[in-house]
Each structure stands twice: as structure tokens, then as C-alpha cells.
């Protein structure tokens, strides 16, 4: 396919205007929105306003004056439509890791006659580390982590675990789990589900209420563009909220935090899942960034995401790069998220050499070159240029130079 036909795709793209809402460095092609989303212009303005006017000038009055105190709930309600949740079930707080600790603890308590958390060996490490931490804390008799391969889940559910803990979009390959189907199978065995939506939210149409999901967590600094270290979110189905006692029972989850009562009384609603004081600077930027998802049709966004990844593969195929890069993501676009991974023994060097050509991807140990596709701001033209850069890097062989192979702390 030639550049002219690719540009035609941009001309026909119903989401093309969205790009104008982002601050994007002119020379870079950013294919890492699945790791750290890009800066939106509204978030940039909001950061300055919150620092200068709200914190700087209005100081402590801002908790009421600018509604800082309601940010966790208000942001939760902005994320809710993106995950198919009705009101009162989603809240923004802490990191994915901390929220998993809260929700796994609740799920184990709700299913207290059982002990096992079932998950996959290739789950995102923090999800498993947190489950192991709960196992150490409670002892193996109260919490036992059982890890299987992806294809073994359905059969293993028949051993009736307490909780099924899965990440919908595999962080390496982008391979998807069918949330609706696995949740149904789990429930048929009396198992509760905790879904991690970190690489899903903001690019995939999600229907947590319809799928009868019990609990979910997700990340806001990836496709939601919340900013580095922006707080995560959690979802608890309405039917479970009143029965949950979350273990990090800090004052922000109290019914009346500013009564400073001696005893802990959990808030009635989703606010009971809060713990400490919200990080207002981060939350404000996330709150602003979510404006770019207002009135977005998630099916349309998904369609563009698929178009982007399919074009990327087609152009790499046409220019011969796939003779050296081996696709590790599913070849069927419907069974992968908005990312593509390729293995290559020198994947790290290739990633660095691409960065030198202003194409930003990332590397996942041991040998995966990973590209993320943010449909809100990527153009089809960017795909054309980045696949050319890949071909050049592979042909020039510069990725073999020691300068491109110095390992960094963050990859």
C-alpha cells in the first residue's frame, strides 16, 4: 500500500479531529500509549490551574471550593460509562496493586468457605505478587494461589476456587480473554471474578454490568492518558458493596471522615473502598483528560484500533520486516487488544535504534518488542512512517551497536 492510500484512510477517519486535543511532540511517533498515555491539552491547562490558582491561591478552601474531596467519586463516574457500569460502582483511588489487595481480600471473605485464588502464570506480575502477599498474610489455609496456563482455566474452575483473578488484555501479547464467557463459567462454579482492565480500558468496549462481573480494577495512565502515576480505579458490583469490608480501612472510606470518630464506620456506598487522602494534582489531570472520551463511541474507537494494527502488520509484511520480526500477538485482530508484540533476539537494541529515529515503542523482557496504538491520536500516516523506520533499522543493523544495547532501569 502506498502513502497516498494511507493518507486517504486519515481523510476518511471519523476520529481524526481528536488528535487536536493532544499535546504531541512534532517529530515523534508515539507507539507506547499502552504504557504511558499522551498529554491532553485540557490536562496541561488543568495542571497549571490547580497549582497556581487552586493550591497556590485558594489553599485549603479548595477541598470544598473546587470539589477536591469529590474527585475520587466524580472520576469514578466518568470512567463508569467506559466500562459499562451504572452509577455508584466505580471509584478512583490508589494504584492497581493496592486496589487488588482490597478486592481480593473482599472476594475471599465473601466466599469464606473456599481458599483458592485461581490465576494464570503469565498474568501481570503485580497481580500475582499481591495475591502471594495475601497468601503470606493469611496463611495457606485461608488463601492459596493456584496458577495455570491460559487454556487450563475452564477445566480448573471445576475445582471450585474462591476467586478467579485475570487480566483481560495480556500485557505482553495483547491476547484477550472473553470476560463474559469466563465470568459465566466462574459463576457456574460459585467462583467470584476479579478482572484487571489495565490494558483494556479506553480502547475496548466493556460491559461489566451486563457480564455480571463482581470486581474489577484498572489503570488510568495507559490508554486513559491520566499522566504518570495517575491513580487507578476499582469497580464493585452493586450487589456486593454492602457485604464488603475492605481491609485498608482508612479515614477517607469512613462514613464521616471529618467527625474524627473513635470507631471506624464504613461509608455505605462505593466510597467505602477509599483509604487515604487523594493525590489531587494527579487526579485533577486525569479528570481533565477523561474529557476526550466524552461522547466517544467505543465501538468506533475499537474499529480504528483494529484498522491501525492491521495496517501496521500489512505494511511490515509488504516491506519484508516480518521475515525478521516474529509476531507474538494473535493474528486475529478480534482476539487481541490495541497492541502488537514481536520477538527478536535483539529486541532491546531495535527498540533503542527506533527511538533514535523518533519512533517510540517499548521492550519487554526477554525479547519482546511491543507497540501500542492509541486510536484517539494516531494517524494512519504515522503507521506508514513507523513501519518504514522499522525496515530501515533492520536493514542498517545499527541496533547491534553497544550504544543501543545499554540496559536502562525502566524499559
Ligand X SMILES: *Cc1c(COP(=O)(O)O)cnc(C)c1O
Alpha carbon 34 to chain centroid, angstroms: 7
| Cβ distance to ligand X smaller for residue 128 or 383 | 128
From 6-14, 192-200, 382-390, 392-400, span contacting ligand X (CB under 6 A): 192-200
Inter-CA distances, 318 with 81, 94, 322, 336, Å: 39, 45, 8, 22
Minimum gap (Å) between residue 24 Cβ and ligand X: 22
- The C-alpha atoms of residue 212 and residue 192 are separated, in whole angstroms, by 10
From 124-132, 183-191, 234-242, 328-336, span contacting ligand X (CB under 6 A): 124-132
By CB under 6 A, the residues from 252 to 291 that bind ligand X are none
From 6-14, 80-88, 193-201, 271-279, span contacting ligand X (CB under 6 A): 193-201
Active site residue 129: no
Of 62, 115, 116, 167, which lies in the binding site for ligand X, with binding defined by CB under 6 A? Answer: 167
Please report the sign of the dihedral spanned by the C-alpha atoms of residue 314, residue 302, residue 393, residue 404.
Answer: negative
Minimum gap (Å) between residue 197 Cβ and ligand X: 8
Selected catalytic residue, list 101, 221, 363, 404:
221
Minimum gap (Å) between residue 219 Cβ and ligand X: 4
Is 411 an interacting residue with respect to ligand X (CB under 6 A)?
no
Minimum gap (Å) between residue 127 Cβ and ligand X: 6
Active site residue 196: yes
Beta strands of 247-379 (E only): which ranges?
Answer: 326-327, 339-343, 359-360, 362-364, 368-372
Residues ≥6 apart with Cβ < 8 Å to 202: 37, 82, 222, 223, 224, 225, 293
- The C-alpha atoms of residue 213 and residue 80 are separated, in whole angstroms, by 13
| Cβ distance to ligand X smaller for residue 129 or 264 | 129
Is 198 an interacting residue with respect to ligand X (CB under 6 A)?
yes
Minimum gap (Å) between residue 120 Cβ and ligand X: 11
Minimum gap (Å) between residue 298 Cβ and ligand X: 19
- The C-alpha atoms of residue 41 and residue 57 are separated, in whole angstroms, by 23
All three cell numbers of 28, joined, read: 515523534
| Cβ distance to ligand X smaller for residue 31 or 219 | 219
| CA-based nearest residue to 90, from 235, 193, 205 | 235
- The C-alpha atoms of residue 126 and residue 129 are separated, in whole angstroms, by 5
| Cβ distance to ligand X smaller for residue 114 or 199 | 199
Is 171 an interacting residue with respect to ligand X (CB under 6 A)?
yes
Minimum gap (Å) between residue 103 Cβ and ligand X: 13
From 6-14, 120-128, 255-263, 325-333, span contacting ligand X (CB under 6 A): 120-128
| CA-based nearest residue to 129, from 100, 166, 164 | 100
Active site residue 52: no
From 109-117, 119-127, 323-331, 356-364, span contacting ligand X (CB under 6 A): 119-127
Binding mask 219-238 for ligand X (x = CB under 6 A): x------------x------
Contact criterion met (CB below 8 Å) for 102 and 248: yes
Contact criterion met (CB below 8 Å) for 115 and 104: no
Type and span of the H or E element at 239:
helix 238-241
Minimum gap (Å) between residue 97 Cβ and ligand X: 3
| Cβ distance to ligand X smaller for residue 92 or 353 | 92
All three cell numbers of 378, joined, read: 494516531
Inter-CA distances, 70 with 64, 84, 144, 397, Å: 9, 21, 37, 53
All three cell numbers of 342, joined, read: 514481536
Alpha carbon 199 to chain centroid, angstroms: 3
Query: Beta partners for 146?
Result: 118
Contact criterion met (CB below 8 Å) for 309 and 373: yes
| Cβ distance to ligand X smaller for residue 46 or 172 | 172
| Cβ distance to ligand X smaller for residue 34 or 115 | 34
By CB under 6 A, the residues from 73 to 102 that bind ligand X are 95-97
Contacts to ligand X by CB under 6 A: 95-97, 124, 126-127, 167, 171, 196, 198-199, 219, 232
Which residues belong to the active site?
Answer: 124, 196, 221-222, 370
Amino acid at each position: 500500500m502506498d502513502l497516498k492510500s494511507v493518507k486517504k484512510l486519515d481523510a476518511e477517519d471519523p476520529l481524526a479531529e481528536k488528535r487536536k486535543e493532544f499535546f504531541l511532540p512534532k517529530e515523534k511517533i508515539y507507539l507506547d500509549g499502552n504504557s504511558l498515555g499522551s498529554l491532553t491539552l485540557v490536562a496541561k491547562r488543568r495542571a497549571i490551574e490547580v497549582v497556581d490558582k487552586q493550591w497556590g491561591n485558594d489553599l485549603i478552601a479548595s477541598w470544598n471550593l473546587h470539589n477536591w474531596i469529590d474527585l475520587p467519586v466524580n472520576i469514578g463516574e466518568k470512567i463508569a460509562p467506559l466500562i459499562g457500569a451504572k452509577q455508584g460502582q466505580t471509584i478512583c483511588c490508589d494504584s492497581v496493586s493496592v486496589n487488588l489487595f482490597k478486592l481480593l481480600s473482599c472476594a475471599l471473605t465473601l466466599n469464606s468457605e473456599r481458599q483458592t485464588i485461581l490465576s494464570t502464570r503469565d498474568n501481570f506480575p503485580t497481580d500475582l505478587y499481591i495475591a502471594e502477599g495475601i497468601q503470606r498474610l493469611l496463611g495457606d489455609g485461608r488463601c492459596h494461589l493456584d496458577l495455570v496456563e491460559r487454556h487450563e482455566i475452564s477445566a480448573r474452575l471445576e475445582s471450585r476456587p474462591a476467586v478467579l483473578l485475570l487480566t483481560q488484555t495480556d500485557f505482553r501479547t495483547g491476547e484477550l480473554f472473553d470476560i463474559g464467557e469466563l465470568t459465566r463459567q466462574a459463576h457456574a462454579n460459585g467462583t467470584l471474578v476479579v478482572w484487571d482492565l489495565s490494558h483494556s480500558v479506553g480502547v475496548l468496549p466493556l460491559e461489566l454490568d451486563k457480564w455480571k462481573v463482581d470486581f474489577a480494577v484498572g489503570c488510568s495512565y495507559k490508554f486513559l492518558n491520566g499522566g504518570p502515576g495517575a491513580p487507578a480505579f476499582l469497580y464493585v458490583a452493586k450487589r456486593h458493596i454492602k457485604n464488603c469490608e475492605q481491609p485498608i480501612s482508612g479515614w477517607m472510606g469512613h462514613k464521616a471522615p471529618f467527625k474524627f470518630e473513635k470507631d471506624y464506620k464504613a461509608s455505605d456506598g462505593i466510597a467505602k473502598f477509599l483509604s487515604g487522602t487523594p493525590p489531587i494534582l494527579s487526579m485533577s489531570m486525569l479528570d481533565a483528560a477523561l474529557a476526550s472520551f466524552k461522547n466517544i463511541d467505543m465501538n468506533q474507537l475499537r474499529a480504528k484500533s483494529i484498522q491501525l494494527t492491521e495496517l501496521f502488520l500489512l505494511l511490515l509484511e509488504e516491506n519484508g520486516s516480518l521475515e525478521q520480526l516474529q509476531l507474538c500477538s494473535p493474528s486475529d485482530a478480534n482476539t487481541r487488544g490495541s497492541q502488537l508484540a514481536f520477538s527478536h533476539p535483539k529486541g532491546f537494541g531495535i527498540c533503542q535504534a527506533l527511538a533514535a529515529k523518533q519512533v517510540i515503542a517499548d521492550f519487554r523482557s526477554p525479547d519482546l518488542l511491543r507497540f501500542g496504538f492509541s486510536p484517539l491520536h494516531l494517524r494512519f500516516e504515522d503507521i506508514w512512517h513507523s513501519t518504514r523506520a522499522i525496515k530501515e533499522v533492520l536493514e542498517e543493523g545499527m541496533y547491534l551497536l553497544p550504544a543501543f544495547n545499554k540496559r536502562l532501569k525502566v524499559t
